[in-house]
Amino acid sequence: MKVAITDACIFIDLHDLNLTNLLFKLPIEVHTSVDVFNELYDNQKDVLRAYQSMRILTVHNITGVERIEIYNQKYPKSLSNSDTTVLYLAEKLSAIVISSDKQVRKNAKSRSIEYHGMFWIFDNLLLQNLITKENAIEKIKQLVTTNIIYQNSLELIHEMNKRIKAWSK
């Protein structure tokens, strides 16, 4: 099973869409850092703690030695501390990154780390028959209306419309 390091924006979007449970049904092993976990609201953390207690979410504590390694990798200043932990863990665990953050994705690409975002999650939820096409269309439209990142990106709107068209057939 492929390991996937997830950042806060993915957990937040899934929580807002009431799809968190479906992430853990995908054929991936979900990991994150305690730094990412601490960026979330208490109600979001509570949901994830349940998956952590069932041992289907791994939250990594970053040691002092690892923080020095992260610092020495000289990540761009455009990345937050939690973003750097996501990239660090992805490299350390030979994992994919799941993020909607443009800077995280750009840096994953420059480090030759496989990366994906919310559209990939939707594609895989459909592939695994965990969501209907109608529900996927409803949720992807909801994502765009509630998340300003998607509203301000012609590329993301194009990707959304492409999927809605394909899923409407």
Q: What is the pLDDT of residue 82?
A: 97
d(CA 97, CA 54): 22
Whether the CB-CB separation of 136 and 10 falls below 8 Å is answered with: no
Q: Per-residue pLDDT tens for 44-55?
A: 999 999 999 999
d(CA 111, CA 119): 22
* Average per-residue pLDDT for the chain: 96
Whether the CB-CB separation of 148 and 16 falls below 8 Å is answered with: no
Alpha carbon of residue 53 to chain centroid = 20
Residues sharing a CB contact under 8 Å with residue 39, sequence separation 6 or more, in sequence order? 8, 82
| Residue-range domain boundaries for the chain | 2-118, 131-167
Judged against a pLDDT cut of 90, whether residue 41 lies above it is answered with yes
Closest CA relative to residue 85, chosen from 19, 6, 159, 10: 6
pLDDT band at 149 (very low <50, low <70, confident <90, very high): confident
The CATH code of the domain at 2-118 is 3.40.50.1010
Q: What is the pLDDT of residue 151?
A: 84
Q: Per-residue pLDDT tens for 72-130?
A: 998 999 999 999 999 999 999 999 999 999 999 999 999 999 999 999 999 999 999 99
Closest CA relative to residue 5, chosen from 89, 66, 67: 89
Strands (E) across the chain are located at 2-6, 28-33, 57-60, 96-98, 115-116
